[in-house]
């Protein structure tokens, strides 16, 4: 099988600023489209170190979508919830993050390499 060489867009650590990287990973071409970007997880809820997040960059999301969003300089991953005039990021079923979030994009795929 042929693999595509994909430049990592950033290193992701939940609750911290996105980390710069110049790393490249090999992925099957059918798992990533030209407009998508890839983050490598350092630490995030319900994910393992080294997981790759294939992100569709956009600034909006539907309720329930898994997204990467920033609040200030820090990045978070969780399910977007926007109803009744409130917007929250659901980190776990019982943990909701509130505040002004800027959606970076929707997580289309989580790739676990090991």
> How many distinct structural domains can be found in the chain?
1
Is the Cα dihedral 58, 25, 70, 45 positive or negative? Answer: positive
pLDDT of residue 99: 83
Residue 57 CA to residue 37 CA, distance in Å, equals 7
Burial label, 22 (beta-carbon count in 10 A; 0-12, 13-18, 19+): exposed
Q: What is the pLDDT of residues 68-83, one digit of tens each?
A: 999 999 999 999 998 8
Supply the range of the domain harboring residue 36.
4-111
| 67 has a pLDDT exceeding 80 | yes
pLDDT interval class at 51 (50, 70, 90): very high
Q: Does residue 44 register a pLDDT over 80?
A: yes
16 has pLDDT over 80: yes
Higher pLDDT pick, 91 / 12: 12
Per-residue pLDDT at 94 exceeds 80:
no
pTM (predicted TM-score): 0.91
What is the rounded CA–CA span in Å between residue 88 and residue 68?
A: 12
Q: What is the CATH number of the domain that holds 78?
A: 2.10.109.10
């Amino acid at each position: 099988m042929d693999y595509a060489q994909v430049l990592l867009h950033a290193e992701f650590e939940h609750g911290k600023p996105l980390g710069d990287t110049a790393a490249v990973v090999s992925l099957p071409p059918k798992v990533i489209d030209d407009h998508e970007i890839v983050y490598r997880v350092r630490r995030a809820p319900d994910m393992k170190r080294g997981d790759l997040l294939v992100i569709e960059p956009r600034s909006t999301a539907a309720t329930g979508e898994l997204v990467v969003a920033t609040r200030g300089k820090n990045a978070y991953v969780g399910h977007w919830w926007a109803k009744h005039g409130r917007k929250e990021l659901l980190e776990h079923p019982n943990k909701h993050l509130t505040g002004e979030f800027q959606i970076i994009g929707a997580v289309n795929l989580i790739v676990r390499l090991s």
